[in-house]
């Protein structure tokens, strides 16, 4: 079975994902998407928009700023409560997340929501038995301190408390602060949703597991505004749709788990939460999305802190209400990692180990590749260019040209980036206008007329 | 003629752009894209990718992190030199950009590159004659101080010098730091380009002019790596292509100016720079893009600071070289603002002033709108839904449903968001399957068979 290391290595080798700032030794918790990763990510985003946003007349997509007025984060509760339990080894001064240490030592195994841990007084006792993973000393930890996960900066030329601002730790508040704008510009019927795809930042104490726990990440999500009375019905609707989305990403049923988050472990704003987990290599089941019933918590708090009326006036003239909110969230990088992990496959071809990405065609970054059999035969190259141009015109998505190395090498390269079909132009092509089309998954090659390729690739 | 205020007001009224964090009084220099702005921006980005990146086998698109290792910004020169000249009024303590004050008072009128001003010793003398625009006191300014424009934050749990990091003030360094990764994963031929669309941040002392001078913005750009010998030829190629791009955005020739930036005013890394300016309402000609010949400045500096070999090994076996770089840059928000400003039109229809956006169809956020004449006639609504579904299937892009208010109101709304065609289903439709199709620019209505609509709208 593939390990996370295999995935990381392929991602780098083939230009999906590189370590951020790599030439300077990196910056922990940041990653750069290479050309193929950018294409794959773009495909996931476009599919998500098609699935949940575009063409739905109850959905409004926005793109709000990463820097927001700090009052937003007071109203949302992030300034006060968005923190992780930090401890320091008194011997080597390495800093750790207490909950991660406890979990790594199998001391906390029950269904705790590690993203918003509520440290119990018992933890200090438990930590006494644990070794520092850096220096090995047992139980020598400082008192637990809550460490706020928001990145802080200063806006404007003066660096003081007044000018402090935060990089948004979630995109949701952009939807809540624009809720009134949407009402004023579009007069939507209730229920309606405000969606966004964008970056968020969390100053994780110890980023880890490749794209899984990072400091800079992307979220696809929407806030769905409803009358309170229908929350259970809509919660169920979105639960089903989220499930179908993961299926649309070709993630198998057996690798997706829905976890009902118990009350004690839910975020402070949520009355019901379901986590969607994927069975990652090495890491096991962990979160790739979540569905939360946020009630009217956010709108009410913003009404209180901003003094702006957040109620919705029903068009039938009935009494104004503050809508309740159901929030389906998808970690884009984690969805990406799940797709990549799931596609990663190994088999044996002609006695040699082969690595290939079994990506579904709608997600594959490259839809087809075109090879001239030999790059130093002008007549082959000319014919191949012709075919390349034709496919480019007819097929939506990237059609790659590849003339580097021998055909075997090119197949291996295309296999590793998940290209479903490779089209080779050889000497017979010049005679009868046929080419070989090679299937990524079966490695079978079929000879066919040029005009037949489109049908196969589509 | 339209003023910037007209544009701002329409942008808010119709859901293109809202003030960032508006319910909390905003956060200066940040803006949120509403649903129509998000669609328009997405169209511009997709067109740009089609124009410069997708399907070009010499172009590699990446998506690198906003947080980078601070050594990147030492190597690039930003830590030392990316600053603005800041002065403070000794009377009211308001802070100003010295170069902006001088320009506003018509004291600096010559072709100074205000984005990278090099304050001269004469400025102190000149400032003595100038009034503080806040309190009105003349010449009472503090000594000029260079203020670094990078937003600073701290990464990890310790807040000290070691953990300091910056929000990237430009996207270009993401391409330079990934140059070696691209070589290793893709073995490209020289010349080749690395492209990126992404956010950047600058702590502007006084943000102003709507989307023009902001603290958070988006850049579309690529670094084109070349052998030094062909820089003039490639510079000229990209100059022409940039010019064509602005034409592709439907910006008229007369509103685009190319400014050759004189040596003294060029950025420290550039051997030749051309600024592309657009004639904005209220603001006049100002920058929407730039073309710079960055030489081998960046790669050489990164080689020096990182110790990594940045040379390219030509495939013909000739001696390794450090490539030179031509950089076409496009301010996405400024391109967006130019498109919006250019489309903003007023005329008179039936004795009343009409505002409409004359957006070209490939950029219009909504391609067509479908109206049932009356919303309380189920047979009209059902027929309209049928037409709506048909158009949605056949037309790429948003097809809006609108049944709010009378037909006149709906036309005005669609005019203001730039929808090229409105399709109305009325009682005659039920009899003979014809609809009226109304043209945004001429306001003319034509009756036609339903199956003819597609041809007109496309």
Q: What are phi and psi of B13, to 5 degrees?
A: -60, -40
Question: Residue B3: pLDDT above 60?
Answer: yes
SS3 state of residue A15: coil
* pLDDT score of A116: 43
How many beta carbons lie within 10 A of that of residue B397, not counting itself? 18
Question: Residue B113: pLDDT above 60?
Answer: no
User: Do A178 and B34 make contact, defined as CB atoms within 8 angstroms?
Assistant: yes
DSSP string for A168-186: -S-SHHHHHHHHHHHHHHH
Which tens digits make up the pLDDT trace of A296-340? 999 999 999 999 999 999 988 999 999 999 999 999 999 999 999
Query: Shortest CB distance from B35 goes to which of A23, A60, A201?
Result: A60
- Which stretch of A99-103, A378-382, B294-298 has the lowest confidence by average pLDDT? A99-103
User: Looking at the DSSP assignment, which residues form a beta bridge with residue B324?
Assistant: B226
| Domain A83-148 in the same topology as domain A4-72+164-341 | no
Supply the mean pLDDT for chain B.
Answer: 93
Whether B86 contacts B145, CB under 8 Å = yes
How many angstroms away from the CA of A125 is the closest CA of chain B?
A: 23
Mean pLDDT calculated for residue range A13-27? 97
B119 band by pLDDT with thresholds 50, 70 and 90: low
User: Do A33 and B216 make contact, defined as CB atoms within 8 angstroms?
Assistant: no
Question: Residue B120: pLDDT above 70?
Answer: no
Question: Residue B23: pLDDT above 70?
Answer: yes
Question: Residue A119: pLDDT above 70?
Answer: no
Q: How does strand B421-425 pair with strand B445-449? A: unpaired
Which tens digits make up the pLDDT trace of B166-221? 999 999 999 999 999 999 999 999 999 999 999 999 999 889 999 999 999 999 99
Which of A10, A26, A32 to probe the B interface (max B CBs under 10 A)? A32
A 49-78: CB under 8 A from B? 54-55, 57, 60-69, 71-72
Question: CA torsion sign, B317 to B319 to B322 to B326?
Answer: negative
Residues B255 and A364: their CA atoms lie apart, in Å, by 41
Residues B281 and B342: their CA atoms lie apart, in Å, by 9
Question: Residue B110: pLDDT above 60?
Answer: no
Q: How does strand A152-154 pair with strand A164-167? A: antiparallel
The answer, for B401 touching chain A at a CB cutoff of 8 Å, is yes
How many angstroms away from the CA of B19 is the closest CA of chain A?
A: 9
Supply the mean pLDDT for chain A.
Answer: 93
How many angstroms away from the CA of B58 is the closest CA of chain A?
A: 10
Nearest residue of chain B to residue A69 (CA atoms): B27
- Which stretch of A29-43, A133-147, A199-213, A410-424 has the lowest confidence by average pLDDT? A133-147
* Axis crossing angle, helix B35-52 with helix B231-248, rounded to the nearest 10: 140
Q: CATH code for B4-72+164-341?
A: 3.30.930.10
A355 band by pLDDT with thresholds 50, 70 and 90: very high
User: Do A23 and B152 make contact, defined as CB atoms within 8 angstroms?
Assistant: no
A139 band by pLDDT with thresholds 50, 70 and 90: confident
Query: Shortest CB distance from B187 goes to which of A32, A302, A404?
Result: A404
pLDDT: is B427 or B106 the higher one? B427
User: Do B27 and A165 make contact, defined as CB atoms within 8 angstroms?
Assistant: yes
* pLDDT score of B263: 86
Which tens digits make up the pLDDT trace of B233-282? 999 999 999 999 999 999 999 999 999 999 888 887 889 999 999 999 99
B 76-95: CB under 8 A from A? 86, 95
Chain B residues with CB inside 8 Å of A153's CB? 151-153, 167
- Which stretch of A159-168, A192-201, B376-385, B407-416 has the lowest confidence by average pLDDT? A159-168
Interface size A-B, in CB pairs within 8 Å, comes to 227
* pLDDT score of B242: 98
pLDDT: is A108 or A430 the higher one? A430
Which tens digits make up the pLDDT trace of B31-84? 999 999 999 999 999 999 999 999 888 999 999 999 999 999 999 999 988 888
A 128-187: CB under 8 A from B? 147, 151-158, 165, 167, 174, 177-178, 180-182, 185-187
Residues B239 and B379: their CA atoms lie apart, in Å, by 56
Whether A205 contacts A96, CB under 8 Å = yes
At A113, list the tokens.
């929501």
* pLDDT score of A458: 79
User: Do A156 and B181 make contact, defined as CB atoms within 8 angstroms?
Assistant: no
Whether A127 contacts A107, CB under 8 Å = no
Instruction: Indicate the pTM of the whole model.
Output: 0.93
The answer, for A217 touching chain B at a CB cutoff of 8 Å, is no
Hey, what CATH topology would domain B83-148 get? Herpes Virus-1 (3.30.40)
Query: Shortest CB distance from A66 goes to which of B13, B25, B199?
Result: B199
Which tens digits make up the pLDDT trace of A229-253? 999 999 999 999 999 999 999 999 9
* pLDDT score of B343: 98
Q: Kindly report the length of chain B.
A: 458
Which tens digits make up the pLDDT trace of A390-411? 999 999 899 999 998 999 999 9
Which tens digits make up the pLDDT trace of B210-240? 999 999 999 999 999 999 999 999 999 999 9
DSSP string for A208-267: BTTTTB-SEEEEEEEEEEE-GGGHHHHHHHHHHHHHHHHHHTT--GGGEEEEEPPGGGS-
CB within 8 Å of A168: residues ≥ 6 apart: A66, A67, A68, A174, A200, A201
B118 band by pLDDT with thresholds 50, 70 and 90: low
- Which residue, chain included where needed, has tokens 């802070």? B95
Residues B90 and B88: their CA atoms lie apart, in Å, by 6
Q: How does strand B421-425 pair with strand B434-439? A: antiparallel
Nearest Cα to Cα of residue B195 among B183, B206, B179? B179
- Which stretch of A137-141, A251-255, B113-117, B422-426 has the lowest confidence by average pLDDT? B113-117
Question: CA torsion sign, B344 to B346 to B347 to B350?
Answer: positive
Nearest residue of chain B to residue A302 (CA atoms): B23
How many angstroms away from the CA of A261 is the closest CA of chain B?
A: 28
Residues A382 and A106: their CA atoms lie apart, in Å, by 62
Question: Residue A118: pLDDT above 60?
Answer: no
Q: How does strand A352-357 pair with strand B398-401? A: unpaired
B369 band by pLDDT with thresholds 50, 70 and 90: very high
B108 band by pLDDT with thresholds 50, 70 and 90: low
Q: What are phi and psi of A332, to 5 degrees?
A: -60, -45
Farthest-apart Cα atoms in chain B, separation: 81
* pLDDT score of A113: 44
B114 band by pLDDT with thresholds 50, 70 and 90: very low
CB within 8 Å of B144: residues ≥ 6 apart: B85, B86, B87, B98, B119, B123, B124, B127
Beta strand extents in A105-182 (DSSP E only)? 145-148, 152-154, 164-167
How is chain A split into domains, by residue range? Answer: 4-72+164-341, 83-148, 364-456
Which of A148, A155, A369, A372 to probe the B interface (max B CBs under 10 A)? A155
* pLDDT score of A120: 66
Hey, what CATH topology would domain B364-456 get? Rossmann fold (3.40.50)
User: Do B34 and A398 make contact, defined as CB atoms within 8 angstroms?
Assistant: no
């Amino acid at each position: 079975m593939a390990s996370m290391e295999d995935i990381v290595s392929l991602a780098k080798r083939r230009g999906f994902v590189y370590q951020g700032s790599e030439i300077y030794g990196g910056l922990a918790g940041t990653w750069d998407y290479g050309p193929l990763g950018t294409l794959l990510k773009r495909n996931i985003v476009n599919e998500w928009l098609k699935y949940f946003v575009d063409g739905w007349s109850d959905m409004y997509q926005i793109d709000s700023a990463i820097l927001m007025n700090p009052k937003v984060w007071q109203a949302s509760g992030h300034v006060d409560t968005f923190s992780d339990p930090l401890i320091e080894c008194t011997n080597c001064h390495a800093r750790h997340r207490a909950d991660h240490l406890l979990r790594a030592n199998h001391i906390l195994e029950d269904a705790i929501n590690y993203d918003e841990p509520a440290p119990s007084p018992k933890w200090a006792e438990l930590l006494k038995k644990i070794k520092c993973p850096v220096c090995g000393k047992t139980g020598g930890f400082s008192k637990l301190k809550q460490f706020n996960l928001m990145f802080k900066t200063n806006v404007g030329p003066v660096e003081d408390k007044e000018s402090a601002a935060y990089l948004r730790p979630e995109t949701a508040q952009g939807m809540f602060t624009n809720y009134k704008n949407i009402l004023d510009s579009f007069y939507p019927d209730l229920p309606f949703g405000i969606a966004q795809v964008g970056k968020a930042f969390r100053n994780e104490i110890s980023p880890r597991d490749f794209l899984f726990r990072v400091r800079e990440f992307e979220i696809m999500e929407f806030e769905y505004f409803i009358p309170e009375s229908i929350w259970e019905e809509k919660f169920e609707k979105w639960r089903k749709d989220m499930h179908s989305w993961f299926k649309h990403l070709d993630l198998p049923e057996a690798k997706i788990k829905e976890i009902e988050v118990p009350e004690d472990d839910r975020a402070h704003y949520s009355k019901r939460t379901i986590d969607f987990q994927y069975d990652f290599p090495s890491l096991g089941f962990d979160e790739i999305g979540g569905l939360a019933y946020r009630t009217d918590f956010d709108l009410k708090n913003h009404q209180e802190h901003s003094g702006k009326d957040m109620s919705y006036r029903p068009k039938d003239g009935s009494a104004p209400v503050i809508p309740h909110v159901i929030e389906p969230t998808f970690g884009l990088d984690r969805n990406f990692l799940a797709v990549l992990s799931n596609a990663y496959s190994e088999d044996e071809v002609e006695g040699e180990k082969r690595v290939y990405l079994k990506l579904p065609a709608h997600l594959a970054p490259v839809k087809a590749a075109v090879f001239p059999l030999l790059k130093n035969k002008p007549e082959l190259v000319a014919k191949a260019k012709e075919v390349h141009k034709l496919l480019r015109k007819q097929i939506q998505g990237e059609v790659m040209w590849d003339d580097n190395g021998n055909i075997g090498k090119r197949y291996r390269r295309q296999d590793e980036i998940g290209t479903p079909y490779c089209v080779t132009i050889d000497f017979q092509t010049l005679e009868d206008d046929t080419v070989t089309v090679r299937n990524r998954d079966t490695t079978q090659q079929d000879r066919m007329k040029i005009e037949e390729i489109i049908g196969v690739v589509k």
